[in-house]
Amino acid sequence: MAALMLYLIGARSAGKTSVFDALSQTPAGPHYASKGAHRLGTVKVPDARLAVLRDLFHPKKYIPAEVTFVDVALPPGAVGSGFGTLNAFLGEADAFALVVQSFGEMDGAGKPLNPVAQLDSILLDLAMADLEKIERRIEKIEQELKRGLKQSLPEMEVLQTCKTAIEAGQALREVQLTTEELKRISSFSFLSQKRVLVVANTGEDDPVGEKCGPLRESCEAKSLDFLAFCAPLEAEIAGLPPEDQAGFLADYGLDEPARIRLIQAAYRTLDLISFFTVGPDEVRAWTIRRGDTAVIAASKIHTDLARGFIRAETVASSTLIEMQTLAACREAGVLRLEGKGYGVQDGDVIEIRASV
Ligand SMILES: Nc1nc2c(ncn2[C@@H]2O[C@H](COP(=O)(O)OP(=O)(O)OP(=O)(O)O)[C@@H](O)[C@H]2O)c(=O)[nH]1
Ligand SMILES: [Mg+2]
C-alpha cells in the first residue's frame, strides 16, 4: 500500500510546522523528505507488542509500521477564504491532523485566542469546500437532465443527501451512507469526509493540556480524537539522546513523550491496524485497514502469497508473548488456521501458508 498520509491543517500560526518539526526530529537532526514545497515526514509507529516480539525472537531485522505526516505549503490565505485552493491542496490527504493553537493570548490573525472557535472555523472551511463542489456538480447534472440524460440520477441523490447534511451543520463523515452510495461519491475526495485528529498545540506551561477543557469537550461532542501536544517541548525531547530523555520528561512531569501517543493516534485516525510476522530473520509490522481479510494481509507481504493462499496460521500477539514460542502455541492448540475471508485483528501474528 502506498504510504498513507496525514495532512497537518489548521489556522494560520497554529503551529502546524512546529508539530511537523517535532515529529521529524531525531537525535541526529530532523528527518523528512520534500515534495515540491510540501514536507513529508515518515515516522515509525511505536508499538509495545512488536518491541516485546523483537526481544523474544532477536531478529536480524526489526521493522515497525510507518505513517507519513505532511506539512502542506498552502498559498497565503488559503484557509479561511478560497475553498477551491483547499480542495486542490488537501484532496489527496488520507486524513487530517488538525492543529489548534492552545498557547498564548492572541491567534495568528491578531485576535484574542479562542481554540474552540478556531476548530469550528477550520471544520467549516472543509465542509464549505465540499458544498461548493457539490453545488457545482448538481448544477451540471441538472443540465444533463434537461437534455434527457439520466445516467447521473443516482449520484444526484447522494449529492442531495450530502448537501442537506452540510447545510444542517454536519460533516460528511457523520452521514450514514451505504457502500453503494459511498462508491458514487468516492471520486470527489470530499474533505469533510476524511477523518480528523485534533492536536491542541499547548504552551510549555501546559504540556498535558490542563487548560484545554473546552476544546477537549468540543472534540468529544463531535466524536473527534483529541490530543494535547506541546510542539517545542516535544521537539526538544525528540532531539535528545535516548538516555537523556527520561530525566527531561520527569522534569516536566511527563511519563512518555506525547509524540508516541500522537503517532499512534494518527495511525488509528487513518483506520489502520497492524499484523505481525515473526522469525529469526525479521520481526515486522504490516499495515492494513481495519476489517481487511487474511488474503489482503497476504498480498501485502507478497502477491504470490495471496495467489497461492492456503491458510493463515494466526495467533494474537498477547498469546504468543505469554507462550513465548510459536511451537508452544501450536502445542497448546492456540495457533489457529484461518481462511481467506478471516478478518485480521490488530496485533495478530500471522504466517501465511501458500502454494507458490
Ligand atoms: N509559545 C509557543 N509558541 C509556539 C508554539 N508552537 C508554535 N509557536 C510559535 O508560533 C508561531 C507559528 O508556528 P508555526 O509552527 O510556524 O505555525 P504554522 O501553523 O505552521 O503557521 P503557518 O504555516 O504560517 O500558517 C511560530 O513563531 C512558533 O514559534 C508553542 O507551543 N508555544
Ligand atoms: Mg507552517
> Which of 86, 165, 162, 158 lies closest to 122, judged by CA?
86
Q: Are residues 23 and 42 in the same domain?
A: yes
Q: What is the pTM of this model?
A: 0.92
Mean pLDDT of 82-87: 65
Q: Is the CB of 18 under 6 A from ligand 1?
A: yes
Question: In percent, how much of the chain has pLDDT > 70?
Answer: 96
Residue 78, pLDDT score: 62
Range of the domain at 321: 291-354
Nearest ligand 1 atom to the CA of 14 is 19
Q: Are residues 253 and 310 in the same domain?
A: no
- Give the domain-ending residue among 160, 192, 224: 192
Give 42-56 pLDDT, tens digit per residue. Answer: 999 999 999 999 999
Mean pLDDT of 148-173: 96
Q: Is the CB of 209 under 6 A from ligand 1?
A: no
Does pLDDT of 81 surpass 60? Answer: no
Residue 76, pLDDT score: 66
- SS3 category, 41: strand
Q: Is the CB of 38 under 6 A from ligand 1?
A: no
Distance from residue 23's CA to the centre of ligand 1 (Å): 14
- Give the domain-ending residue among 192, 217, 239: 192
- Give the domain-ending residue among 192, 219, 246: 192
In a domain, 118, yes or no: no
Distance from residue 113's CA to the centre of ligand 1 (Å): 14
**From CA 116, how far away is CA 126, in angstroms rounded?**
16
For a ligand 1 pocket test, name from 8, 9, 12, 13 the mutation site with the most ligand atoms within 8 angstroms of its C-beta: 13
Residue 89, pLDDT score: 85
Q: Is the CB of 114 under 6 A from ligand 1?
A: no
Q: Whose CA is nearest to atom 2 of ligand 1?
A: 203
For a ligand 1 pocket test, name from 7, 17, 18, 229 the mutation site with the most ligand atoms within 8 angstroms of its C-beta: 18
Q: Whose CA is nearest to atom 24 of ligand 1?
A: 13
Does pLDDT of 68 surpass 70? Answer: yes
- SS3 category, 235: helix
Q: Whose CA is nearest to atom 4 of ligand 1?
A: 15
In a domain, 156, yes or no: yes
CATH number at residue 321: 3.10.20.30
Give 268-293 pLDDT, tens digit per residue. Answer: 999 999 999 999 999 999 999 999 99
Q: Are residues 199 and 102 in the same domain?
A: yes
Q: Are residues 78 and 156 in the same domain?
A: no
With cut-offs at 50, 70 and 90, classify the pLDDT of residue 93. very high
Q: Are residues 101 and 199 in the same domain?
A: yes
Total count of domains within the chain: 3
Give first-to-last CA distance, the chain, whole Å: 22
Nearest ligand 1 atom to the CA of 18 is 15
Does pLDDT of 2 surpass 80? Answer: no
Q: Are residues 237 and 250 in the same domain?
A: yes
With cut-offs at 50, 70 and 90, classify the pLDDT of residue 79. low
With cut-offs at 50, 70 and 90, classify the pLDDT of residue 37. confident
Q: Are residues 41 and 100 in the same domain?
A: yes
Q: Are residues 244 and 320 in the same domain?
A: no
CATH number at residue 159: 1.10.150.300
| Furthest C-alpha separation in the chain | 72
347 HSE (CA, 13 A, CB side): 13
Distance from residue 19's CA to the centre of ligand 2 (Å): 9
In a domain, 280, yes or no: no
Does pLDDT of 83 surpass 90? Answer: no
Does pLDDT of 112 surpass 90? Answer: yes
Distance from residue 344's CA to the centre of ligand 2 (Å): 38
Does pLDDT of 84 surpass 80? Answer: no
Map 255-308 to HEC letters.
CCCHHHHHHHHHHHHCCEEEEEECCCCEEEEEEEECCCEHHHHHHHHCHHHHHC
CATH number at residue 36: 3.40.50.300
In a domain, 117, yes or no: no
Q: Is the CB of 201 under 6 A from ligand 1?
A: yes
Q: Whose CA is nearest to atom 9 of ligand 1?
A: 15
Does pLDDT of 309 surpass 60? Answer: yes
Per DSSP, helices labelled H in the chain are 16-24, 48-57, 83-90, 115-146, 153-167, 179-185, 213-221, 231-239, 242-251, 258-269, 294-301, 303-307, 317-323, 326-331
Distance from residue 67's CA to the centre of ligand 1 (Å): 23
In a domain, 146, yes or no: yes
Q: Is the CB of 15 under 6 A from ligand 1?
A: yes
Q: Is the CB of 10 under 6 A from ligand 1?
A: yes
In a domain, 96, yes or no: yes
Q: Are residues 244 and 329 in the same domain?
A: no
Q: Are residues 207 and 304 in the same domain?
A: no
Q: Whose CA is nearest to atom 12 of ligand 1?
A: 13
Q: Are residues 260 and 216 in the same domain?
A: yes
In a domain, 116, yes or no: no
In a domain, 220, yes or no: yes
Ligand located closest to 105 CA:
1
Distance from residue 340's CA to the centre of ligand 1 (Å): 48
- What does pLDDT average to over the chain? 93
Q: Are residues 38 and 141 in the same domain?
A: no
Question: In percent, how much of the chain has pLDDT > 90?
Answer: 88
